[in-house]
Amino acid sequence: MKNRIAHILFLAFIMVPCWAQTIPAKTSPLREQIDLTGPWRFKADPKNIGDSAEWFKDETDKTFWPLVNVPVAFDHCGPELDRYFGTGWFCRRVYVPESFRGRRILIHFEGINYNAKVWVNGQPVGENHDAFLPFDLLINDAVITGAENSIAVSVNNIRQLGQFPLFEGWYGQGGFLREASLVATSSTYMVSTMMVATPITGTKNGQGQIFVRASVKNESGRAQPLKIQVRVSDKTGKLLAVLSSAVLFVNEDQLVDLSVEGHVPKVQWWSPDSPALYTVEVSVLQDGKVVDQQIRRTGFRNIEIADAKIRVNGKQVFLLGFNRHEDSPRTGMAVDLQQAREDFCRMKEIGCNYVRFCHYPHHPGELDLCDELGLFVLAENAMNEWGHIDHPAPNPAIPLEPKDAPLVLENARRTLTKMVARDNHHPSIIIWSVSNENEESRQDVALGNAELIQFGRTLDKSRPWTHVSNSFRKENWESFYIQDDVIVVNAYPTHWYSPTEEDINAGLPESTRIMENTLKKIHDKFPDKPIVIGEYGFPNGDAGEQGAKKQAVATEAEFKGLTAPYIAGGALWCFARHPWPWNNVSNYGYVSRDRISSFPAFSVVERLYKEHTKKSLSDEE
């Protein structure tokens, strides 16, 4: 009977419906928005003359500029722009209604790679240099309400010294990659929110605790009595809790933090096999009147790191998943949430409970999907491969040196702050990562990783922090992982030696042994810290049947090396093939870039992951 129950639970776990959208995403009516996605005029500017030619002005004739549909990568703006590096201009007109008059008016961008300068009605309103992250520009001095307005955006995808990502081990497309909108808010408004929703210890599904902190700015012209109110509702819209902060008198131009904490009854706890979500309305009240509001979705779950294990809601978890780049065969690196949903559903169907968002902040809609479908996420900042002299940024003429460390750390702190501010409410995020594969034998880099993990804890104490590392084979490696809550390492044991045909036919036992010994070496130095494999696996390559066989055998052999109790799982590199800077498409991947073909190793992964989950459920019984 116990085995039958375990089997039923296992089937329920792998068959969470991928079509379910438990709670539709909402926007507050207090923040009036105008969608800026869709047709824009576009012109490539390879000689970078647009500024001096004043292409940002309305008078510039753009009649013959072709139309493109934003969001879009440069490469999809014309056949001659494949792998384009340089500047491109996006221009459009938009009517701004009278209802925006007297309000704070922003132009919001969800993400532009890598550098953006923006004009409204020919006036410069600001710029941004943080790829993969949102930014807002105040445009009140330039916009005209009750009239059409022109918007011009100059986009350049040539990274500057110290700009993230420091190195691209993928083909990073430039362009207007994510959505944009015009937004009108009150003069008293929320800058950001921090949200932590956890079960109450000692109860089963039914009791939750929520903490919300809102950073609020008063630009109303005078001191104001302000408070925040938090309303929590279930998926049917039923109101479960209303919580309010104390009233605080806030001076003009003052930025303050207002917080509230309290119980929420009758909640289900979030987990991959039961991804229950709740709507949280955070409102700012001024003299008792709601003047601003943000609506978020969250789930009640906690994360505990102890005894070399990761526990969620008190239950030990083993992460079974893939790395995934933000790449679509239809749109490239421009947002394609339909493709993301299809990929995540396919992962769930073969037994995954985890995905690593390598190596930069992914679109927030992908996190919404992982929240809904029940996939744990490692979310990562774009500090990729700092210190590798063979991977200079942005070009061989100006490599990063130790003297550049303050610039790198400044960029890292700013982008980490933005990432956590944007994404902290997502229950799917189980680990924050500050970086990937930095050159930790350099002291400035190793100290930088440690400093950033400590800085991350000041942003969010509710989740473990790490840096993804491949430096455990270097001298003095023990010092690299002192600050990490979870040790996440990239291990490719089959790459570390040259297996023979006989080794492959025998199942690559040496790959298993190397994986086991490598992780044991790390565990012996850090016995209390769980270890997660950030990347493992093998490329398929273009060797036909033999290459496919080697990938399948290597995948199974390396997975067999993850059986020790201090191993908390891992992510294969990587789910789908993707464009590479060195050739057309990466040789790594378990499905083809167009998603039409899956390689033989993919079915091996399905068998291994499902067997592991079934055994874990049986052991619990």
Over residues 92-112, the pLDDT tens digits come to: 999 999 999 999 999 999 999
Instruction: Choose among 325, 275, 337, 271: nearest CA to 572.
Output: 325
* pLDDT at residue 544, rounded to an integer: 74
Beta-carbon contacts of residue 120 (< 8 Å; ≥ 6 apart): 107, 139, 142, 143, 149, 150, 151
* Maximal CA-CA distance, the chain: 80
CA distance 155 to 128: 10
* pLDDT at residue 392, rounded to an integer: 58
The bridge status of strand 303-306 relative to strand 135-138 is unpaired
The beta strands (E) that lie in 121-163 are given as 123-128, 135-138, 147-156
Question: Is 50 exceeded by the pLDDT of residue 336?
Answer: yes
pLDDT in tens, 439-483: 999 999 999 999 999 999 999 999 999 999 999 999 899 999 999
Contact 153, 118 (CB under 8 A): yes
Amino acid at the residue 598: S
The bridge status of strand 354-357 relative to strand 319-324 is parallel
**CA 164 remoteness from chain centre:** 14
* pLDDT at residue 617, rounded to an integer: 76
* pLDDT at residue 462, rounded to an integer: 96
DSSP state of 76: G
Binned at pLDDT 50, 70 and 90, residue 546 comes out as: confident
CA distance 557 to 544: 20
Instruction: Choose among 85, 86, 93, 84: nearest CA to 56.
Output: 93
Question: Is 60 exceeded by the pLDDT of residue 120?
Answer: yes
Question: Is 80 exceeded by the pLDDT of residue 2?
Answer: no
CA distance 297 to 300: 10
Beta-carbon contacts of residue 79 (< 8 Å; ≥ 6 apart): none
* pLDDT at residue 5, rounded to an integer: 38
Binned at pLDDT 50, 70 and 90, residue 591 comes out as: very high
CA distance 565 to 318: 10
**CA 406 remoteness from chain centre:** 24
Binned at pLDDT 50, 70 and 90, residue 545 comes out as: confident
| 156-160, 258-262, 516-520: the lowest-pLDDT one | 156-160
Give the Cα-Cα-Cα angle 506, 512, 517 (nearest 5 degrees). Answer: 145
CA distance 434 to 164: 12
- Is the bond into 590 cis (omega within 30 degrees of 0)? no
Average pLDDT over residues 337-363: 97
DSSP state of 220: S
Contact 202, 261 (CB under 8 A): no
Question: Is 70 exceeded by the pLDDT of residue 16?
Answer: no
Please report, for the chain, how many H helices and E strands are present, in that order: 9, 31
Q: How many other C-beta atoms can be found within 10 angstroms of the C-beta atom of residue 269? A: 25
272-286 burial, b at 16+ Cβ within 10 Å, e below that, comes to bebbbbbbbbbbbbb
544-572 burial, b at 16+ Cβ within 10 Å, e below that, comes to eeebebbbbbbbbbbbbbbeeebbbbbbb
Average pLDDT over residues 260-266: 95
The beta strands (E) that lie in 477-603 are given as 487-490, 531-536, 567-572
Beta-carbon contacts of residue 302 (< 8 Å; ≥ 6 apart): 198, 199, 312, 313, 314, 462
CA distance 230 to 207: 17
What the chain holds in terms of domains, given with CATH numbers, is 2-19+187-301 (2.60.40.10), 32-185 (2.60.120.260), 317-505+536-551+571-620 (3.20.20.80)
Question: Is 70 exceeded by the pLDDT of residue 25?
Answer: no
* pLDDT at residue 15, rounded to an integer: 43
Q: How many other C-beta atoms can be found within 10 angstroms of the C-beta atom of residue 44? A: 18
Question: Is 50 exceeded by the pLDDT of residue 549?
Answer: yes
CA distance 378 to 498: 31
Average pLDDT over residues 591-613: 95
Contact 353, 605 (CB under 8 A): no
In the chain, the percentage of residues whose pLDDT exceeds 90 is 84
Residue 331's alpha-carbon distances to 169, 328, 574, 576, in angstroms, are: 19, 5, 19, 15
Question: Is 70 exceeded by the pLDDT of residue 543?
Answer: no
Helix (H, G, I), strand (E, B) or coil at 154: strand
Residue 34 Ramachandran class (φ > 0 left, ψ -120 to 50 alpha, else beta): beta
pLDDT in tens, 504-522: 999 999 999 999 999 999 9
Question: Is 90 exceeded by the pLDDT of residue 205?
Answer: no
pLDDT in tens, 368-413: 999 999 999 999 999 999 988 666 555 555 678 899 999 999 999 9
Helix (H, G, I), strand (E, B) or coil at 13: helix
Contact 421, 369 (CB under 8 A): no
Cα Rg of the chain (Å, integer)? 25
Contact 522, 536 (CB under 8 A): no
Residue 196 φ/ψ, nearest 5 degrees? -130, 120
Instruction: Choose among 364, 476, 358, 366: nearest CA to 419.
Output: 364
What is the average pLDDT value for the chain, to the nearest integer? 92
Binned at pLDDT 50, 70 and 90, residue 7 comes out as: very low
141-165 burial, b at 16+ Cβ within 10 Å, e below that, comes to ebbebeeebbbbbbbbbebebbbbb
Question: Is 80 exceeded by the pLDDT of residue 245?
Answer: yes
Question: Is 60 exceeded by the pLDDT of residue 10?
Answer: no
